[in-house]
Structure 1
Amino acid sequence: MRHMKALFRIEWKLFNRIKANYIFVLFVPLMLLVSMRFVQDQMELDKHGLNPGPLMVSTAAGILMIFSLYSSVTGLYVARREELVLKRLRTGEVSDPVILAGGASMYITIAVVQIVAIAAVLSVMFGVAPRQPLAAAVGLFTGVVLMTAMAAATAAMCRTVESVLVATLPAIFILPMISGIYIPREVLPEALGDALLLAPLSPTVDLIRSGWTGELTAGGALIRSALAIAWTALFAWIAARRFRWEPRT
């Protein structure tokens, strides 16, 4: 924990040096969220038995995990590698998982605070209260761990900081489409919706939404938690095998 706190303080100081970081991490996801509200208004949610309040909570959580956490942490890992920071940290007593988790802890904190704050605001706006808070907490935890592992796996494929934008594009554009973030699976054909349950962020989105709707049974929640853990293990395995701790020559 001492090492984690030290890495968090360092990253927080570096983050505050560039004020433009606040524009990307704080305002861009919020603008996307507002735009998605208008898109979902055209989907006839009532026809499919969907409550817009819980749906907007899960949409917000998914957007923030991708933009505030995944893309930011991917860029962080690559930048610190190119600056030889990761290589120097490994020469000390800090373990590899602590280096990665400590470096990402600042963005994890920002994403969690954003999600909790927006969920509270949306709950008041739509007059809904959490019915399964444990499911929402599990969804938030699994989503954060999944996105961090996915960021490490993506960073392993990036040669330079400039290549991060290209490497993260598939997740930024495709993942929200197939995980029920932009388009609820209920409005899709049943077979397609069932297949998209296997998408990486689908279990997280379902768990968070169920935190407000209470639609998942204990078995359903366990299945989705197991899927999220499986995806996390896959990305963690890729990162463990392919992650580079110093610049490529």
Structure 2
Amino acid sequence: MRTDLRHTLRLARVDLKLLGRNHAALFNVVLLPLVFGVMITQLGHADQVFVLTGVPGILLAFVVFANLVNAFVVRREERVLKRLRGWQPSAAAIFGGAGLAAFVIYAVQLALFGVGIHRAGGGLPANVPLIVVASLLGVAVFTALAAAFSGPHRNAELAQITVTPVILVLTFATPIVYPLEALPEPLRLLAALLPATPVVEIVRTAYTGRDYIGVSGGELSMVDQWVAALPSFGVLLAWLVVGGLLARWLFRWDPRHG
């Protein structure tokens, strides 16, 4: 267990160092989500705090899902994953290192948007531990989904094309700009089950101290926020199981070409 943790930390550090050297990836993973998030706030919604607290859905789509799909495909085709498997790290350490590196970037960007929320009049977050737990679980879910999604793709170029519709669905069906109640009933039910939706709802509730998981919008104590978040945590845990099973079925360690 201790060895796996050490390998996870080492691989996460390597991932962050490699990202810093890759200007294209740095733009796609760090700058593009920030630009996209700022653009979303200009869509005309009156409540800027509401929109800014929905940005975690965008970050999960770009920073975790799209980034890791591309990383897993490239490393598989360059036989990096195969060499790692032949070395000491376990599969859990390899996925954990990739997920931890993505979480560090996600957390830094979330902090930057937290500054924006504060400047927009949102004050300070009401429940930081709840934000952290929801974010960690969300990153774990999207790491597993990225691992599964990378399996069928033969190269990074194809992966970049096919992740685009997923990003669009996550961005515009997740309640980032408008609440779920604004959607027609069938779409509302589907949107509520998307893996980014529970993260957005929990983070929004934890930051503002108001119930954005239910429909009341009333003030909640810290304990009540955790209680209100339980159904959303249930959705995230279900997605974690689904993502893990899909990754076990679809993920490939060996190159697909040749």
Task: Place the TM-score, normalised by the shorter chain, in its bin.
Answer: 0.7 to 0.9
- 1:29 maps to 33
> 1:130, 1:213 within 8 Å by CA — same for their partners in 2?
yes
1:130 aligns with 2:134: no
> 2:58, 2:170 within 8 Å by CA — same for their partners in 1?
no
Structure-2 separation of matches of 1:155 and 1:194: 27
Structure-2 separation of matches of 1:127 and 1:105: 28
Matching residue within 238, 241, 245 for 1:233 = 241
SS in 2 for 1:167: helix
Q: 1:98-247 counterparts in 2 under 5 A?
A: 98-189=93-184, 192-214=187-209, 215=211, 216=213, 217=224, 218-247=226-255
Give the counterpart letter for 2:94 in structure 1.
I
Percent of aligned positions with the same letter in both sequences?
30
1:52 aligns with 2:48: yes
User: Which consecutive unaligned segments of at least 5 residues does structure 2 have?
Assistant: 214-223
User: Which consecutive unaligned segments of at least 5 residues does structure 1 have?
Assistant: 46-50
How far off its partner does 1:191 sit? 5.8
- TM-score scaled to structure 1, two decimals? 0.87
Instruction: Please identify, of 122-131 and 170-179, the stretch whose mean Cα deviation from structure 2 is larger.
Output: 122-131
Q: How many residues align?
A: 240
Indicate how the Cα distance of structure 1 residues 142 and 27 shifts in structure 2: closer, same or farther if over 3 A, else same: same
Residues 65-98 of structure 1 deviation map (CA, whole Å, 9 limit, x = unaligned): 1112210111001111011111011112211111
How far off its partner does 1:237 sit? 0.7
Instruction: Please identify, of 11-20 and 160-169, the stretch whose mean Cα deviation from structure 2 is larger.
Output: 11-20
Instruction: Please identify, of 20-29 and 219-228, the stretch whose mean Cα deviation from structure 2 is larger.
Output: 20-29
Instruction: Please identify, of 1-10 and 70-79, the stretch whose mean Cα deviation from structure 2 is larger.
Output: 1-10
SS in 2 for 1:174: helix
> 2:57, 2:200 within 8 Å by CA — same for their partners in 1?
yes
Structure-1 separation of matches of 2:182 and 2:249: 39
> 1:86, 1:246 within 8 Å by CA — same for their partners in 2?
yes
Residues 115-163 of structure 1 deviation map (CA, whole Å, 9 limit, x = unaligned): 1221133223324232233332232122111111111111112121121
Superposition RMSD on alpha carbons, in Å?
Answer: 2.0
> 2:57, 2:170 within 8 Å by CA — same for their partners in 1?
no
SS in 2 for 1:38: coil
- 1:19 maps to 23
> 2:103, 2:136 within 8 Å by CA — same for their partners in 1?
no
